[in-house]
Structure 1
Amino acid sequence: MKILQLRFKNLNSLYGEWFIDFTHPEYLSNGIFALIGPTGAGKSTILDAICLALYGATPRLGRITKSSNEIMSRQTGECYAEVLFETQVGRFRCHWGQHRARKKANGKLAEAKHEISDADTGKAIETKKSLVINVIEEKMGMDFDRFTRSILLAQGGFDTFLKADAEQKSKILEQITGTEIYSSISLYVHQRLRDENEVLNCLQVEVAGINTLDEQQEEYIKQKLNNKEQEALLTETQLKENMKAVTWLKNIDELKKEIKLISNEEESFLSEYEHFSEERERLKKALKASELDGKYALLNEVRNQLAEEQQSLNDEETQLPSLYLDASKKEALLKQAEQKIFEVKNEQKILVPLLQKVRSVDHQITDKMEAIRHCNDACKKISEIILSEEDQLKYYKTNYHLLQQEFNAVETYLHQHQADEWLLSGYAGIETQLERLNTIQHDITGKKTEKQVCISRFDTTKQALKSINEEIKHISQKQSQVEHSIQLKQQELETLLNGRLVREYLAEREALYREMVLLQKISDLESERASLEDGKPCPLCGAKHHPYAMGNIPEKNECEKKIADLSILIEKTNLIVEDLNKQEQIKLKYHNEQVEAEKKQIALSGECQQLEKECSVINTQLSCWIQEYEDVKQSICDKLKPIDNIVELQDFNASELRIRLKERMKNWQKQKQKKEILAQQKNDCESKVKTITAILETHSLSLKEKQVELSKLQVELETLKNERHVLFGVKKADQEEQRLTESLADAELSEKQARTSYISVQQQLRISESRISSLKTQITNKKSVLNKKAYEFKALLAKSLFPDEQVFIDARLSIEARNKLQDKEHELERKRAELEHKKKDREVRLATEVRKSITSLTLDQLESQQKGYDDTFSQLRDNIAELKHQLTENSEARERVKEKDNEIEAQKNECLRWQNLHTLIGSVDGKKYRNFAQGLTFERMVSHANRQLEKMTDRYLLIRDEKEPLALNVIDNYQAGEERSTKNLSGGESFIVSLSLALGLSHMASKNVRVDSLFLDEGFGSLDEEALDIALETLAGLQQEGKLIGVISHVTALKERISSQIQVIPQTGGQSVISGYGCKKVLG
């Protein structure tokens, strides 16, 4: 992590807006700068600005809030701090700002704003104040406390890390070096041990909660059960014998009662049979008379008509005698009706006591039928319960069978996949290896892509090199052609120039031009030539030789010809030279092209060699990764070899294998849990079967008892029905009573009608005279017819053995009376036969029963014994069921204890395994393994610190305390290597040691953070000049590692020793200004 730029406004004494660029070349070249100024000028405010921009807090004031802002410059309305920093993941700009209401100095503080953005794109990453801190910690890899202890060592806290306790040092190292995973592992081991111990405790509690009988108790219960079963067997035998005797005595009593009842019925029947003899004779005569009813009806009809007519005549002739006669008849009818009423009432008087007796028997029959109904209902209810229990028993037996099948299937699966159990403990390691495989596979894929890119680049470069070679060859050919052309031109030029230079020909031509001018002058200065003397200079040209003065003046045409020839030669030469120049330019062009092509050739050749090396390196890395991939894959296959059909080398797929392994592990756990659930369900089902079986036995016995009671009630009911039949047959008492009531009503109605008729006859006496005449004629005619009919009927009477008509009349009965007598006769005959048969049957059965002679006890004695046997047997049966249930539960409890003991033993081994691991690395707060891992990291940091310490002094050497892993001691080489605590160091010694530790931390880089900026606020005042020089040289040497060190101090000596400076200069009114490289005040 490196601070690049800082911008702030209105912080403490630094009024206005300021900008500091830490990337200024002066800082980059020296690697160290001094932030100097007098005490109170505002040096630490610059460091506060960095903290404020990043964390919204300062080491001196803590967090700046809406209610408190002591860092804002007095009498200002706003302040802010903004820092640009760089980490391994990119460059980021973090801004913190706060203002007062309307940005007035006396306004109320508003809520601060805090945000972070990508410095390169300007895109905001987070603008919510509560979340910005988390993003900054994520990007930088450290929180505020770690920042102030590792990068910005604030004023008065330079030796914070040195004086920090083990926990604080651990947190700093965890942030700097990324060892938090070891805390998680340590916590997990501790938690896992606690979980496994809880499982063990639960199993032990479950075992303790299972009650079992000891061998003595179990033997006692078994003996008691055997005794009870023997007693029950004896009691059951006695019960059956007693029931047999009771039934025998009851049968004898019933038979005797029946015989006596039949005898009584016979006596009553004989009286009734003899009483019916007169009625039988009467019935016989009535049946014979009924054969003449038709003829007699016709005769009576004529007689009645004649009588009526005669009566009418008599009435009319002699009113009173006829009326008296008719009145006499009507009176006779009236008496007959009255007699009928008397007879009905007499019959009713006789029937009432019998009806009362019949009703009593009917009531008993109703009670018995109700008892039978209740008994039937009870039997039906018990039968329904038995059917329901049998259904439940069938259900639980079927369910038990299904559960057993499913349990066997689960056991088969667990047996067949026994190797899968290893996954419960080994899957985590396999998963780590699979993740490593995925990482390697990803790296291999990336490397293969990189290799392809490299090969593609190599091929492209090689092709470009080939093209460049061909281009160079083509340029060389063109160069050769141009050189050949130049050579020909040069030969032509040499031939033309004839070994002379062009300038010579030019000079010669110039001379000819001058000569021609001179010739002209000679011609023009003929007089002057006469005055010339040899050896004396010419006044015109200064020559001492005067050839023309002697008379040999050359010809002008010859000179012009020479000039013309020279001009032609020079022109040709110029053309050739111009052509040569063009050819040279072409040659130069080709040369430059060749040079550029050769540069490209060299570059491409070097690039080819570099790419070839890169491909070789990639191939090597790829081979290493492929080999590592194969090794890890082989390791996984070896580990998974016991697991059938899970992986093959030829079709190895890490992602698919992870899914399959996780599925196999889940299936194993699921089947294991399912086995436990099925075992419990199976036990519950088996217990239900036993319980329902016992209940069924009890209900079956109750049903038999109810059925015996029902049979007894049915026998009693049959006896009552027979008695009732003897008393009243099938007739119903209410119907008979109704019949008598209706007969009485009919008789009374007849009596009333007869009385009315008698009155009517009396009335007719007064009106009969008018009919006498017509009646006499009718009577004469009727007598003739009557005599004929009477003769015929008399003949029939004689034939039917009736002496006279009166005997016939007396013998006649109505159809109802005849039917009634016939029915009664048939009933008497049937009843006589039935009584004879019943009496004979009961006497035979009684004799048979008496011969059995089963017991000599009375029925009361037997029934008393029966009740005692029933109570005893019921109690014994309950005792036996209870004892059997105790033994069954004890057996099941022992099986459960055995299973739990096996589980406890296995769990103890598991607990021991985790206990051993816990002893090594486990702890409740995760410190144990973390401190061990960080101890190694701390050892590295101490090693780095010692390297820096050696550069500053040869007196001290840092070592780890043997008792406290994160504590430090120093070896004083000036005191014979004495070891002492860092707590006893002086101020200057503490500063040097703290500085070496800070530099040691800066040397350590991990995946979380790299420390490339270090700010030291004060602490140099405790050093002497030599120590100060050494410390500053050490800090300056860090520039080679790309680090920037800022030293904040008021020590005057620093101004002379550090050339790169930022000065904080106090001004009037409590304000300060900043001066130095990369520092400027931003004008609004």
Structure 2
Amino acid sequence: MKILSLEFENLNSLKGRWKLDFTQSPFAENGLFAITGPTGAGKTTILDAICLALFHRTPRLKSIAKGNNELMTRGTGECFAELEFEVQGKTYRSNFHQKRARGKHDGALQTPTCEFADADTDKVLETMLTKKTKLVEQVTGLDFSRFTKSIMLSQGEFAAFLNANANDRAELLEELTGTEVYSLISERIYDHFKSSEESLNHLKAKAEGVSLLSEEQIQALTAERETLEVEQKRLAEQLKEWQAHLSWWKDVTKAEQTIAASEHDLKTAQDELDRNQPSLERLANSEPAEKLRPMHKDLKRCEQEINTTRAHLDNSTKLLAVRDAEKQDAQTKLTQSSAIVELVKTEQQDQEKIIDLVRPLDNQIVVLKDKQTAAVNAANTLNEQHTQQRNQQVVLVQETDALKQQDQLCTEYLNTHQADQHLEKYLGQWQAKVEQVRTLERQHSEQLNSAKQALCAVGAQQTIIRSAKEAKATQDKTLAELVLVESSAKQQWEALQGNTSEQVLNAQKDLLEFWNRNTHSLLEINRGFLNAQQQMHAKTQAHQTNTQLVDKLSKEREVLVERYKERETSLERLTRLIDQEGELAKYRAALESGSECPLCGSTEHSIEQSQDIANLVAQKDRENLELTAIKKEGQDHRQQLDSLAPMIAALNDDIQRAQADIQQAQLNWQGVVGKLQQSLSDFVGMAPELALLTINDLGNEATVATFAQQCELQLSQSAQQLKALGDAKAHYAEAEKQRLSVSVMAGKAQSNLELAEQRLADLNKQNQVANEQVTQIAQAKEQQWNALKESIVQTAIEAPELEHIDDWFTAKSQASSTWQQTKQQQADIEKQLITQNAELKTLDDKLSSVEKELATLTKESESLVSELTRVTAERTELFGDKDIQATSNAMKQKVTEAVSAFDAAQLVLNRSELEHRTEQTKHTGFSDELVSKQSSYTQASNAWLEALKTSPFEDEVNFEAALLDEEVRTQLQSLKKSLDESIVSAQARLNTAKTTKVELQNHENAKAWQEQNQQQVEEATTECQNAQQSHATKIGAISANLETDNQNRSNQQYLFKQIDEQQVEFDDISRLNSLIGSKNGDKFRKFAQGLTLENLVYLANKQLQRLHGRYELKRKADDGLELQVLDTWQGDVMRDTKTLSGGESFLVSLALALALSDLVSYKTSIDSLFLDEGFGTLDSDTLDIALNALDNLNASGKMIGVISHVEALKERVPVQLKVTKHSGLGVSEMEKQYKVVT
């Protein structure tokens, strides 16, 4: 990763917008540069801006969000940071931006915004805060922690790894290199080991609890099952005979019951017919009137239509007169509208002639007014210019006088303070020397504190030794107590086991679980058995009902067929008779009074005595209607029979399925009960106290439910007992583990005591060295301060005391700045005086020119006013003050309205003529329709009177009295049909039942079957069924035992195979667990961290070779993550890292920091490095060594930025990024070339 450019705004003390382009000069030619400036100027802020642009946080501020931003410069309304960097040849741009409300410095902080983009294509890749940081980590391969330890070594964390203890160093290694995954691997391996061990033990216990039948037992059970199957077949044949005998008795009983019920129904139907005879006679009397009803209805309809048409004709006559009057009125209005149109058009032509004369005058008036307005505006503008120039002249005169006074004041100040002009030259040198004195003072203070701390550390170490001794005694005491706890837990575990092993309890639990699973099957079988019985009973009843209905419908249909044939024969006879009467009517028409008949020769022709053909036709119609009714009724019966046939077939299928379900449930029940009994007989050990179900319990829902509840209860008790035993075992294991853990801790306590005593000796030695260094630094500080005071006195300035030096520098810096500012101010004033004198001369010339232009414009304006007055008077005389366009538009509107009125009158006339013609047509139509209706009425009346004469009714009143209401007639017809059907149906059932009884009595086995009554047959059938069910239960139990034995044999082979496979897996995971597995993941994690530390030490030693060949880092052999230093100048003595001096610690820390940078950058090449460290603890030689090392790193292609205020470093590094602090303002700035001008 290489940083290309950084741009930021308003961060900490660096107010304003700044940009550093590391691809341009001077950074492009010099990859090593220094960021310099006084303390608090804002050097580290540049590194904060880099972190903010990438990760939205800094090493010093962990969170920058909507409600918290301590990084934004005080008194500003926004802050911004943007970084461009290169990773693997691609350039990216990342920024962070936050504003305050309304851009005001006191506004509320708003939600930050961000952007991560491809800088080559400007394609935005992410804008969400959380997702952007993850994308940065993905692209760079560095999270915030790795970034601050590989690219940017932030202030205060430079020597963090060197000074960390073992635990903190482990956390740092895990955080930097991601070794937390090894902890997870170690935990997973341990969990896998425990799981594999439990699975293996469970399989072994399961294999020990399985028993098999012997060969003799299998042969005996097989022979017994074959015997029972033969006996079962014999019982099935015998049961079939008894069921046929019982069915015969049931059919006889049913036939006798049907005969009695049918005789009763027949008598009831006959009585109901007699009771309703008067109503039926009324129905018969209404038949002649019903035949005349259509003709009478037609006559009434004709009367109604004549009345309606006559009313329409009268209304049309009145409306026709109204339409004629409207037509005349419309003609008159049209004539008036035509005259008005002609008058308005003439008036419009006269007006247009006048407008043609007025329009040129109006145009001339507009032109004159525009010219006059322009002249007035120009004069006003010149007047304003004249006034402004006069005012400017006055202001310039006043400003010139003021500048002359300021110039005089500046001259007096500069003459009075001539000595201040040289302060700028010496202040920087004096401040650098003071900084050196203060550095020595800080070193003196630090060494003095170190000496005090060393003395305190000696006392503290003595306290630690006492504590270590107390800790060892405490650990020994705790170990003794835990031995007793372990013994107690072991005794409790053994007491819970008692005489029953855990394997036996598991076997009992498995048996109860087997029973519980099969009990659920028995519940389902029992429910299926009860449902099948209910279905069979319901389907059998429905089958009997539908069969009876089929018999009834079949008998009724036979009766209907006979009636249909009789009516069909009668209809044919009537048809022939009517045809004959028609032929005879022709001959009767040819007879003449007194002439002989060609058939009989008689001269007297009694035509009235001939048969009435109308009565024959009416009789034929009645026969047709009755034939149609019989046919429809027969078809209804046929449809009912057709629909009943599939229903009966379906019911037969349902009954057979229910019987099959019952038999299957019995077989399933026998099989499952047999399995339960066999599992009990095969169980080795103390079986559960629970009575098993038997074959006879099928159908007894309460017994099955009780067994299921007891089984669940005992299973729960068994599980609780096993859990208690497991808890006790776990408690014992935990006690043993705690005892071992405390034993290890006791050993560590002894070790800690020995280390503390060795540490005390080292601290005493360090205390002596620190006291010597305090004296040396105090002497050096005094020499530096005396040299500085002598330098100040030589400039004729009184030297201040060291404690007041900052105030003295501030005052002198202000005096120097004031002198320089005054000098610059005087030069600026002299320039302004020259400029203002020139401006005064220019203003005088402009004033003269404006006054001449004003006189010319005044004359021109007066001429325009005179001409405008004349033209306006002429226009008023012709047209007044009327507007041409408005007057013309009004006249056009008047013409338009007159034409519109004429067009409307024309439309009204046209509509009136159309309505008059339409109404005339309607009137003619109604007249024609009335004539037609009257003709139809005459025909209908004649036909009605003719039919009434031939009917049995004297007049229309008698006819209407004979008519029945349609609803009453329908009810009576339904009653007659119902009574007839009841009688026929009852008679048919009676005949069928008697026939059935005779057939049953004539059965070939009837005499033999009558020797035993129905009750005896039922008892024999039940006894045979019970015997068959008993045999089936025994067969099911034997089959279940044999099947269970086969399953156990098969399962046992598979079980042994599973045990072998599980043993192989357990051996593998056990070996792996012994190497790297642990419950908390420590074993493998520490191993991986040790390897990482080895690599880090190797990389750090390579850096130390470049920095200083004297030192080499080593790992302590007796402590996994502790470090020590090999000093080759002292005979390869091993030194603890805590004994290193400040300069030595810096060199080793720098080497470790550079090594960490190389280690963390395993995913990304690190081409930029920033060091935020003072280098103040190094002497000149060591500083040269460190800078040479940085030069070497720079030569390898890395860009390196160093933050420091050490003078020697400033001299060695040619490229410097200076940060200057403004005294008293709280803000700083960099050189102007880096400022962004907006």
TM-score by length of 1: 0.39
Of structures 1 and 2, the larger Rg is shown by 1
